[in-house]
Amino acid sequence: MKTKYLSVGMLAVLTQVSMADFSSLDQQVKYFNDWSVACNNQRECFMDSLPPKTEPSATETKDSEADDSDGLISLYLSLSRKGEADSPVVLRVNDWDDEEGSLEQGQSLKLKIDQKTFDLGKVSAEADENSSFEVDSKQAPEILAALQQASQVELSLGSEKLAINLQGLQDGLQYFDEQQQRVDTTSALVKKGDKTFTANLAPIEIITPVVSNDDELISDEEHAKLQEKIHQLALVKDCVAKMAKEEAVEDVIEILDKDNYIVGVTCAVDELNRQTLVLIAPKTNPEQAELAKFDQGADNSIIIGEFNGYSASEGILLNYYRKSELGDCGSTAEWAWNGKSFVLSSYYSMPECRGSLNSMNVWKLDLKQPDA
């Protein structure tokens, strides 16, 4: 990871970067027509149904059918499975629109697979709050088996209906098995065999973030003084030199830990994303601020995307990279502060813009929050 001070020339190159570099991660999202599959470094796999790439025109579908599906367009089927031998498949009905979504407490959910209808039950308050309905574990195996043989699938929520596209389902499940090393074993979903699943998981790093349990707040006056000192630094002057006045964005200054502030200075803004230079500033001498160190995805200490702030109580820095104006694709990265640098703790990706935002986890570390 590069930690040299920035120059204007470096920034000119960085403005051409379309996405932060997470290419060293082993897994990425893979698409099979109307299904996406991703597995993370812990061999936990996820598979989601997607809206069709192009919506059918009015001449290709009956008006009644179009009206039926309008209210449920944000719902999708999702299945996941952890990497251990005895891990079951978990089947869910999810809603990627958690603000104006379709799942509401008390509604009845049904899944019609060809001519057979599965009554999934009513949406609970918890499912409504989490925008996620988990199918009963006793029903899930039968439903999954039926899906693999189906020609038509329809999800019903109350009186509304949504067709689930099946193209790519079988290939996606095959890839799912391959990534979990279950092919030809008794636990496979597609190509079952008589072998016992024995693949062991590699040891996973456990990180304990450095957190601050103080309720310290930065006053407007203190923020202004800190901002003035930070902007006297040569590396910050180089950073903001490319910014037009009308693009000026207020700096982010927050408590990092008991000894330091974290500072985010916007260096460039384009139609979709900003580029934020991240620094660590000692509370006693903020003018001695240095570039923050990242192990992934922040070359020259610049985060590309929305700087979503820092949680001092959890030790987590969060940002979102937008790939389209709608924000229906992109990635979310989280880094844990270990007292010296930011270590990538989770990464979610949705690289293909499909009118949905069901980002998938392709990387995570086990975080152990310290005792308060």
Dump pLDDT digits (tens) for 63-120. Answer: 434 344 455 778 999 999 999 988 999 999 999 887 778 899 999 999 999 999 999 9
What pLDDT band is residue 248 in, cutting at 50, 70 and 90? Answer: low
Q: Are residues 276 and 153 in the same domain?
A: no
Predicted local confidence at residue 4, as pLDDT: 28
Is residue 346 a contact partner of residue 359, using CB atoms and an 8 Å limit?
no
What pLDDT band is residue 43 in, cutting at 50, 70 and 90? Answer: very high
What pLDDT band is residue 56 in, cutting at 50, 70 and 90? Answer: very low
Over range 346-363, report the average pLDDT. Answer: 88
**Over 90: is that where the pLDDT of 244 sits?**
no
| Token digits of residue 73 | 């367009």
Inter-residue long-range contacts of 187-195, CB under 8 Å, 24+ positions, other chains counted: 187/85, 189/89, 189/144, 189/148, 190/148
Choose the final residue of a domain: 179, 198, 221. 179
Q: Are residues 76 and 164 in the same domain?
A: yes
Over range 288-292, report the average pLDDT. Answer: 95
Predicted local confidence at residue 280, as pLDDT: 97
What pLDDT band is residue 300 in, cutting at 50, 70 and 90? Answer: confident
Helix (H) or strand (E) holding 222: helix 220-230
Q: Are residues 51 and 162 in the same domain?
A: yes
Predicted local confidence at residue 14, as pLDDT: 32
Instruction: Count CA within 13 A, CB hemisphere, residue 85.
Output: 8
Predicted local confidence at residue 362, as pLDDT: 93
Q: Are residues 214 and 106 in the same domain?
A: no
Residue 306: domain span: 8-20+206-367
Dump pLDDT digits (tens) for 260-273. Answer: 999 999 988 888 88
Q: Are residues 301 and 359 in the same domain?
A: yes
Dump pLDDT digits (tens) for 173-183. Answer: 999 999 999 99
Window from 56-65, 93-102, 237-246 with minimum mean pLDDT: 56-65
| Token digits of residue 222 | 């203190």
What pLDDT band is residue 168 in, cutting at 50, 70 and 90? Answer: very high
Q: Are residues 15 and 151 in the same domain?
A: no
Query: CB 16: neighbour CB atoms within 10 A?
Result: 6
Dump pLDDT digits (tens) for 144-161. Answer: 999 999 999 999 999 999
Rounded to whole angstroms, the Cα distance separating 191 from 188 reads 6
Q: Are residues 363 and 228 in the same domain?
A: yes
pTM over 0.95, yes/no: no
**What is the percent of the chain with per-residue pLDDT over 70, rounded to a whole number?**
87
| Token digits of residue 248 | 């000026």
Q: Are residues 163 and 312 in the same domain?
A: no
pLDDT greater at residue 372 or residue 48: 48
Q: Are residues 297 and 328 in the same domain?
A: yes
Is residue 23 a contact partner of residue 32, using CB atoms and an 8 Å limit?
no
Predicted local confidence at residue 370, as pLDDT: 87
Residue (of 276, 228, 224, 230) closest to 249 by Cα position: 276
- pLDDT, mean over the chain: 85
**Over 60: is that where the pLDDT of 292 sits?**
yes
Asked if residue 316 belongs to a domain, the reply is yes
Predicted local confidence at residue 246, as pLDDT: 60
